[in-house]
Amino acid sequence: MALMHRPPVITIMGHVDHGKTTLLDHIRKSNVAGRESGGITQHIGAYQIEFQGKKLTFIDTPGHAAFNKMRERGAKTTDIVVLVVAADDGVKPQTLESIRHIQAANVSLVVAITKADLPNVYPDVAKSQLAEHGILVHGYGGSVDAIEVSAKTGKGVDTLLDTLVTMAELNNYQADPEAPLQAVVIESTKDPRRGAVATVIVQQGTLKVRQDIIADDVGGRVKLLSDENGQSLTEVLPGCPAEIIGFEDVPAVGSRVFDTANMPSEDEVAATEAVEPGVGSARVDFDWFNTKPKLKLIIKADVQGTLEAILANLDSESTELLASGLGPVTDSELELANTSGAVILAFRVKVAKNLKEQAKTLGVKIKSYEVIYHLIEELQKQMLKLMEPGIDEVVTGEAEIIQIFEMRGERIAGCRVKTGELKKSDKYHLKRGEDTIADPQIKLMMHGKQEVDSAKAKSECGITFRQKNLQFQIGDKLIAYHLEDDEA
């Protein structure tokens, strides 16, 4: 055994748009935040810097709620967490989620109160809110460091780094570079030119070029190692990040990487690893007796972590996942969508022009997204429509049938408009009590002997429906509505 000091692995956590990536941006003197769609981080990245001659390894976890699992996995991989809270916004929902993961992982913590350069901000409010949720900082009954920083001006950043170096020295993080290799995958993707690419952090042993490795059931040989700047490496020591090219397929995010020549026993792996189902090859169990309509989906994403986040938001009661994977939308997936009636969701992946044209001809919906929360919000809205029909309906008028006439072989509903307005072009529900008995269309609307296009509250009208033999009766209600999407 040859124990050596290793760099601490530090995870940045917090609410969306609280300045996590901008802070890390300042630390790394780069511009990651400016390159991200929508200004939010959408993948986990690993970066290493030197401060006062000491190496620090950072994991930047996405702040949006969709990345619960990625953020949780970050906490389990890390030594120290920097919890970012904006001075102008305080504790928010994703801050609370981060706190839960931090407490469960029992890791060291420092708070960075960002945007301290803004006028009329009150960092003490954020500190008191943290205390309400069990994070006790100096001056509020605890020993957690809370450092006011500004990524814009650089205020407090050196103090934060100095605190992290001190914490690392006190905790004396060690690892054995001569031990059997153990690393963890924190991001993975499939590159059209380079093949399977995985970002890892080495925990024990040494990762080397031409080493035979395995992650879960995905094997390979290390063809190329590089750092976050694209510089080639020959070996990677504990506590350091690297990008690996050489896996035969894309390994799952969170999977452990071992040297195939020094594989640990199953008991050893079980003792250090929480077993979690893989993503991207999920088997779908169909309920043949469930007659409720389901939203059929084919989901393609650019990287494994993002795919996991999307799949985590699916509700099995309202969705049916037919296929999922990484990389561009393919001809076979378009064919599957056509035969099954599925919608294709494409997150930050290419859809070839000829595929778009084919999809349009076939009537297949392909929805492309660049920002994760746009996709999740739209997905949740569609699932909600299936679970609660009418959720997106805006009622514009209500009338009651008070008389029934017959003229030229047609039944006419004599209606009194109670609220709002009825328009001939509106969508309608015909309700009896609480039950909807039909969704009729209006053929003709009359006021006295005059044909009209609308009738307002407190007026009366005679309505002829397009549906023949519609069995309405006195006391039935006619509800006019339109869909929220129609408002645009």
Q: How confident is the model at residue 72 (pLDDT cuts 50, 70, 90)?
A: low
**What does the pLDDT average to over 77-101?**
87
**pLDDT tens by residue, 344-386:** 999 999 999 999 999 988 888 999 999 888 898 888 777 766 6
The per-residue pLDDT for 43 is 59
Is the pLDDT at 40 greater than 60, yes or no?
no
- Residue in 305, 323, 208 with CA at minimum distance from that of residue 255: 305
Is the pLDDT at 82 greater than 90, yes or no?
yes
**19 or 485: which carries more pLDDT confidence?**
19
**pLDDT tens by residue, 201-254:** 999 999 999 999 999 889 999 999 998 888 899 999 999 999 999 999 999 888
**pLDDT tens by residue, 301-339:** 999 988 988 998 888 778 889 889 999 999 888 988 887
Is the pLDDT at 80 greater than 80, yes or no?
yes
Return the number of other C-beta atoms located less than 10 Å from residue 105's C-beta.
Answer: 17
The per-residue pLDDT for 158 is 93
Q: What angle do CA 137, 141, 144 make, to 5 degrees?
A: 25
Cβ-proximal residues to 164 (8 Å cutoff; 6+ apart), any chain: 8, 10, 51, 56, 80, 82, 110
Is the pLDDT at 84 greater than 90, yes or no?
yes
The per-residue pLDDT for 69 is 59
The per-residue pLDDT for 400 is 96
Q: Is 330 helix (H, G, I), strand (E, B) or coil?
A: coil
**pLDDT tens by residue, 47-60:** 899 998 999 999 87
182-263 against 393-487: fold identical:
yes
The per-residue pLDDT for 285 is 28
Q: Is the pTM of this model over 0.85?
A: no
Q: With pLDDT > 90 as the criterion, what percentage of the chain qualifies?
A: 45
**pLDDT tens by residue, 428-465:** 999 998 888 888 999 999 998 899 999 999 999 999 99
Q: Give 486's DSSP letter.
A: G
Q: How confident is the model at residue 269 (pLDDT cuts 50, 70, 90)?
A: low
Is the pLDDT at 286 greater than 60, yes or no?
no
Q: How far apart are CA 251 and CA 211, in angstroms?
A: 16
Q: Where are the domains of the chain?
A: 4-174, 182-263, 295-387, 393-487
Is the pLDDT at 272 greater than 70, yes or no?
no
**What does the pLDDT average to over 13-18?**
80
Residue type, 395: V
Terminal CA-to-CA distance of the chain, rounded, Å?
A: 67
Compute the mean pLDDT over every residue in the chain, rounded to the nearest whole number: 84
Q: Give 64's DSSP letter.
A: S
Is the pLDDT at 414 greater than 80, yes or no?
yes
Is the pLDDT at 30 greater than 70, yes or no?
no
Whole-angstrom CA distances from 422 to 100, 167, 434, 441 are: 51, 69, 20, 12
The DSSP bridge partners found for residue 460 are 416
Q: How far apart are CA 72 and CA 105, in angstroms?
A: 9
| β-bridge pairing 295-301 and 319-326 | parallel
The per-residue pLDDT for 488 is 41
The DSSP bridge partners found for residue 112 are 84, 147
The per-residue pLDDT for 287 is 31
**pLDDT tens by residue, 185-207:** 988 899 888 899 999 999 999 99
**428 or 392: which carries more pLDDT confidence?**
428
The per-residue pLDDT for 161 is 95
Q: With pLDDT > 70 as the criterion, what percentage of the chain qualifies?
A: 84
Question: What CATH superfamily classification does 4-174 receive?
Answer: P-loop containing nucleotide triphosphate hydrolases (3.40.50.300)
Alpha carbon dihedral 43, 96, 279, 45, in 10-degree steps, equals: 20
Q: Out of 3.30.70.260, 1.10.8.50, 3.40.50.300, 2.40.30.10, which CATH number does the structure's domain 182-263 have?
A: 2.40.30.10
The per-residue pLDDT for 370 is 92
Whether the Cβ atoms of residue 290 and residue 268 lie closer than 8 Å to each other: no
| Domain 393-487 top-level CATH class | mainly beta
Is the pLDDT at 61 greater than 90, yes or no?
no
**480 or 14: which carries more pLDDT confidence?**
480
| Cα diameter, the chain | 99
**55 or 468: which carries more pLDDT confidence?**
55
Q: How far apart are CA 444 and CA 410, in angstroms?
A: 11
The per-residue pLDDT for 473 is 93
Fold of the 295-387 domain: Rossmann fold (3.40.50)
Q: How far apart are CA 282 and CA 345, in angstroms?
A: 16
Q: How far apart are CA 379 and CA 371, in angstroms?
A: 13
Is the pLDDT at 36 greater than 80, yes or no?
no
Per-residue tokens: 202 = 């080495």
The H-assigned helical ranges of 282-440 are: 304-312, 331-340, 353-362, 372-387
Task: Please give the helix or strand (H or E) that residue 46 lies within, else none.
Answer: strand 45-51
